[in-house]
Structure 1
Amino acid sequence: MKNILLICGSGASSGFMAAAIRKAAKKQGVELKVKASSESQLDDMIDDTDILLIGPHLSYMLDDLKTKISGKDVKVAVIPQAVYGSLNGPKALEMISEMEN
């Protein structure tokens, strides 16, 4: 089972997105764990993470976050604004599936 971590500034908006992904995964019969957090808690959670998704408003931090997790087997991507802003769980789940391959 894959462990997905979504981060945003405070953890609030990523919580809504995580819920949308969990709902889509359940509907499609996909097993995964999705947690939401603020970026300040990344160090505490990264060891239990397979895929790190970043809210689009933190895209400026992508390079720093990649550096922070270097050496760990974690895939990282920024969720597109169109997906994040509309809380499109199925589209985010599709993005996660593509990252696994």
Structure 2
Amino acid sequence: MRNIVLFCAAGMSTSLLVHKMKEAAAKENYDCKISAYALASTKDKGPEADMILLGPQVRFSKDKVEKDCPGKIIECIDMQVYGTMNGAKVIAQVKKALGD
């Protein structure tokens, strides 16, 4: 099971995207756990992730997240994909990055 962690400003705006991602993963039989947290919790929640995704509003923090979570795959979610809450496209991004 893959552990996918999303970070945004407060952990709230990604909740709908998490729901859409879970729906898309279920349709594809992709075994994963998906959670969203505030950016302030990267040191606590990031190390347990297989993949870290950053919401567009916190993409400027990628360098800090890389320092807090060395060795982790960290990518930013495309602004248009995020805006349309396209869970299937985010799952495709995750699978490509992880080689699944």
TM-score range, shorter chain: over 0.9
Shift of 1:62: 1.0
Q: Which amino acid aligns with 2:17?
A: M
Q: In percent, how many aligned pairs have the same letter? A: 25
Unpaired runs of at least 5, structure 1: none
CA deviations 1:25-74 (Å, max 9, x no partner) are: 0111111000011011121112321100000111111111112212x4x2
Q: Which amino acid aligns with 1:93?
A: I
Task: Specify the SS of the correspondent of 2:14.
Answer: helix
Contact 2:7 2:55 in 1 (8 A): yes
Q: Deviating runs (4+, > 6 A) in structure 1?
A: none
Superposition pairs of residues 1-101 of structure 1, within 5 angstroms? 1-70=1-70, 72=71, 74-101=72-99
Give the TM-score normalised by the residue count of structure 2. 0.93
Q: Which amino acid aligns with 2:43?
A: D
Contact 2:8 2:55 in 1 (8 A): yes
Unpaired runs of at least 5, structure 2: none
Give the TM-score normalised by the residue count of structure 1. 0.93
Q: In structure 2, how many angstroms separate the alpha carbons of the residues matched to 1:10 and 1:16?
A: 13
Q: In structure 2, how many angstroms separate the alpha carbons of the residues matched to 1:54 and 1:9?
A: 9
